[in-house]
Amino acid sequence: MRASHVKRAFKYRFYPTDVQAAELSRTFGCVRKVYNLALAACTEAWARQVRVNYNQTSGMLTDWKKTGELAYLNEVSSVPLQQALRHLQVAFTNFFGKRAKYRASSRHTTSAFRFRDGKLTLAKMAEPLDIVWSRPLPEGAAPSTVTVSQDAAGRWYVSLLCEDPSVQPLPATDAAIGIDAGLDHLLTLSTGEKISNPRHERRDRARLAKAQRRFARKAAGDGANRAKARRKVARVYARIADRRRDHLHKLTTRLVRENQTIVIEDLAVRNMVKNAGLARAISDAAWSQLRSMLEYKAQWYGREVIAADRWFPSSKLCSACGSLQRKMPLQVRTWTCDCGTTHDRDVNAAKNILAVGLTASVCGAGVRPQRKTPGGQSATKQKPLQREP
């Protein structure tokens, strides 16, 4: 992909008027209704081993609008409703992979908004949105789609998808780095650098617990007060997520700018969070989000991200001589190999991750360097080893 064709979503907070908020809330409700109706139709057809495509759901939408019960769908812009049906084609498949998730939002294509002189006006609205332009759009930007959303904390956002010609491949470099993810330290690099874990959720745990207790005390029938308490809980979560995302953006941008090749672990985070004792800490570390940022930024800037085999015993393997230790309890943070090399557990793991990643890049995915156990036996002849925690 040419850099001039890279599309980026620029997200901004905005403050709607009461009229705009009511219109957007009504649009969100209609989008949700259409999405759920179409999903029910697709699910029922799937049970009969029949596939329902977009054109068929679009025809259903036309029929729904003609009924007295759903005539209110005509009161909002039709574009977000059609976009909901398009998204359903992907989301219905993702449902079986447990990835489908509805959120309060509406997507508008060029026929459903006007962007002129730095002002954005949505269809069915007389006034432009009051957007806080926290950063400039690319010069001459022409948004192709606009997505309006509201998070659980009640904050309104608008995301503009634009081509960004400023995204250019960075000058090539020979620098390569291996990354070992952890909880004591968020990342340990093959250079020996350790990046601390900010533990954003832990920093706000007391405030979160207080908000949750207040919410729990509200009676189910106390609608207004219960909603207000729920909103306060959501605001604490939003504060945590904002800080986490900001930190990860800064960290991943630095790693991509400094290195041509980045090798990471292919962690099965979904399975790891099933450990009740570590689930909270693992979720707070946001390894999946970090990997996603690394991958799309590497694609933007001409870098390479390689995922090392998740079963590769990076902590047990001596990065100096290649011998494989039979056991490596989690509490062991430093160890000395028979060759005389003393290792920091995490730095050694990062070095091995880099080595196996570069080998896989040259020889093909899944290739591991030849290694020997302390007894001289080739590790490739042993039974597959489970990844240590």
Instruction: Name the residue type at position 215.
Output: F
Give catalytic status of residue 75 as yes or no.
Answer: no
Q: How many CB atoms lie within 10 A of CB 280?
A: 13
Packing angle between helix 223-258 and helix 205-217, nearest 10 degrees?
160
Q: What is the Cα–Cα distance from 365 to 222, expressed in whole angstroms?
A: 57
For the chain, first and last CA: distance in Å? 38
Q: What residues have CB less than 8 Å from 308, skipping those under 6 apart? A: 178, 263, 264, 265, 266, 314, 353, 356, 357, 360
CA 140 from centroid of its chain's CA atoms: 29
Residue that is written with structure tokens 């109706």 in the block: 37
Q: What is the Cα–Cα distance from 389 to 190, expressed in whole angstroms?
A: 19
Q: Do 322 and 28 contact (CB within 8 A), yes or no?
A: no
Of the candidates 164, 295, 309, 346, the residue annotated as catalytic is 346
Q: How many CB atoms lie within 10 A of CB 96?
A: 9
Q: What residues have CB less than 8 Å from 258, skipping those under 6 apart? A: 173, 175, 177
Q: What tokens were used for 170?
A: 């960075």
Q: What is the DSSP letter of 151?
A: -
Give catalytic status of residue 346 as yes or no.
Answer: yes
Q: Do 320 and 339 contact (CB within 8 A), yes or no?
A: yes
Give catalytic status of residue 180 as yes or no.
Answer: yes
Of the candidates 180, 201, 284, 309, the residue annotated as catalytic is 180
Q: Do 277 and 193 contact (CB within 8 A), yes or no?
A: no
Q: What tokens were used for 178?
A: 């291996």
Of the candidates 265, 284, 295, 309, the residue annotated as catalytic is 265
Catalytic residues: 180, 265, 346
